[in-house]
Amino acid sequence: MADIEFEAKTTEQVIADIQENIIQAQDAVVGKPKLTDFSTGSIIGTLVRGVGAAIGGYWQYFKDLTQSFYITTATGESLRKRFADFNFVMKTGSPSKGTIHIIRPANTTYTGNINSQEILYTDSGEFQFTVDTSTDSFGSPGNTVNFKTVNVTCTENSSLSNLPSGTILRPLNSSLSSLKFIVASTMDGTYTTALSGGLSGGVSDETEDEARDRFKTYIQNLGKGTTSVIKASVEAVSGVRRCKIYDNSRIVAGEISSPYPGYIVVQVQPTDLVSGLSVSLRSRISQAVEESKAAGVAYVIHSVPVRSVNIVVQVRTSLNNSSPEWANYTSKLTTEISNIFNSLDIKEGFYISALQAKLYAVDPGVSAGGITITCTNDQGQSLANSAGNVLPEQSGDGGVLVLGDLDFEIAGL
């Protein structure tokens, strides 16, 4: 991982800077003896090194502090705290476990038992194991082989501590040195062949670098699969003006009509209404959905039906339609109307009364009843329902309203 952009000076660099500053300060003084002996043991050298070591320590402290705030550079407890901010926890490994046979060869004098917590180790000494439970006594020695079976657990978490059957372990307790400790769950009567089993289950603790790599995937997938994330991903595609996402539950509930039960529906309004949902744009939208949806989710992409609204605004005013004042006034009205249409979501309409209120606010001098608004389609048919609400196409998956022709007229006072 790259360091954060903070370069800490080493103690050696600090000492060199102090010496240089002392020399330059003395060079500015004429006719005075100079301190030039910075060797180890000299008074000035000892002073410079002491101060330099302290300052160098502070430099390193500030660097460590700076890096502790970033997941890419934080280590130890600081890294775990940064992970905790995202409810992310480093994985803890597990020790290897299994069965071993403790064999007392014929005519061996050991007669005691094996205590729990006895320590065994591999020939390399890399791993240690503890005996889980005590055994009963071997009893009096004889001319036959005797054995006990016990379970052992490694003292650390490591995938390297998984040992195959037949592996020999050594006792830390020298009084047990006459016994043989062999990894195996089953053995034949000779206790030397047909071994099976082994020590397994050992998993190493996750390293900090492994955790950082896993965290990248974790953070990239937070929120994946939600309709809001899919919507944001699709609307980030160049060529998409807006979109609406319907999950399957809303389709089943009858909120929208869809011939694809079990699918989520991605409704898209392209920026270019002429070209519409081109093959290229559909491909980019599909990629955005794939990167943000949950695994196993099927979807379809639909172009939203567009309903063009032609508007005529009639204003009772004494202004002349060729005057600069009228041009300025209608420009402001155009901006208000455009803003309303730009803010409409898919399947969202508007009340003519609400639009009138916006236009009255542009020029308070126009009294109530002084603005009349007519909304029609391209065939000249009124689009306002009995409640004075203009709605997009409601059949199929719904639609969106866009502003068509806009004209202003002056009505006599």
Per-residue pLDDT tens over the stretch 279-295? 999 999 999 999 888 88
| Chain position carrying tokens 């595609």 | 237
Residue 35 or 323, more confident? 323
How many residues are given for the chain? 413
Class at the top of the CATH hierarchy for domain 227-303: alpha beta
Q: Contact at 8 Å (CB) between 22 and 48? A: yes
Beta pairing partners, 327: none
Of the chain, the percentage scoring pLDDT greater than 90 comes to 18
Highest mean pLDDT out of 70-79, 155-164, 212-221, 244-253: 155-164
Alpha helices (H) in 130-247, listed in sequence order: 208-220, 227-235
Residue 1 confidence (pLDDT):
41
Establish how many alpha carbons lie within 13 A of residue 184's alpha carbon, considering only the half-sphere containing its beta carbon.
Answer: 21
Q: What is the distance between the alpha carbons of residues 90 and 211, in angstroms, rounded to a whole number?
A: 6
Q: Which CATH superfamily is domain 97-183 in?
A: Translation factors (2.40.30.10)
The confidence score (pLDDT) of residue 403 equals: 87
Phi, psi at residue 284, to the nearest 5°? -70, -35
Share of the chain above pLDDT 70, in %: 80
Q: Rounded distance, CA 236 to CA 220, Å? A: 16
Q: Of 250 and 212, which is predicted with more confidence?
A: 212
Tell me where in the chain the CATH 3.30.300 domain(s) lie.
227-303
Mean per-residue pLDDT for 157-175? 91
Lowest average pLDDT, out of 9-18, 202-211, 320-329, goes to 9-18
What is the per-residue pLDDT for 283?
Answer: 94
In this predicted structure, what is the pLDDT of residue 2? 45
Judge whether residue 413 has pLDDT over 60: no
Residue owning tokens 């040195």: 177
pLDDT of residue 96: 92
pLDDT band at 251 (very low <50, low <70, confident <90, very high): low
How far is the CA of 114 from the CAs of 39, 137, 175, in angstroms? 64, 8, 11
* Residues 211, 118: Cα–Cα separation, whole Å: 34
- Looking at residue 360, its pLDDT comes to 86
20 φ, ψ to 5°? -65, -40
> What does the pLDDT average to over 348-357?
88
Supply the pTM of this predicted model.
0.49
Q: Give dist(CA 250, CA 225) in Å, integer.
A: 15
Q: Please give the torsion angle defined by the CA atoms of residues 280, 283, 284 and 289, in that order, rounded to the nearest 10 degrees.
A: 160
**pLDDT higher than 70, residue 337:** yes
The dihedral formed by the CA atoms of 127, 130, 132 and 135, expressed in degrees to the nearest 10: 120
Residue 311's CB is within 10 A of a number of other CB atoms, namely 20
Q: Is the pLDDT of residue 189 over 60?
A: no
- Tell whether the model's pLDDT for residue 208 goes beyond 80: yes
Res 312: pLDDT: 93
Report pLDDT digits (tens) over 102-140: 888 888 888 888 999 999 999 888 999 999 988 888 888
Condensed to tens digits (0 to 9), the pLDDT of residues 47-66 reads 777 777 777 776 666 666 66
pLDDT 10s digits, 292-319 = 888 888 888 988 888 889 999 998 888 8
Confidence band of 271 (pLDDT split at 50, 70, 90): confident
Domain with CATH 2.40.30.10 in the chain: 97-183
- Check: CB of residue 91 under 8 Å from CB of residue 205: yes
Q: How confident is the model at residue 395 (pLDDT cuts 50, 70, 90)?
A: very low
Got the DSSP string for 129-149? EEE-S------S--SS-EEEE
Rounded average pLDDT over 248-269: 68
Most distant CA pair in the chain, distance: 129
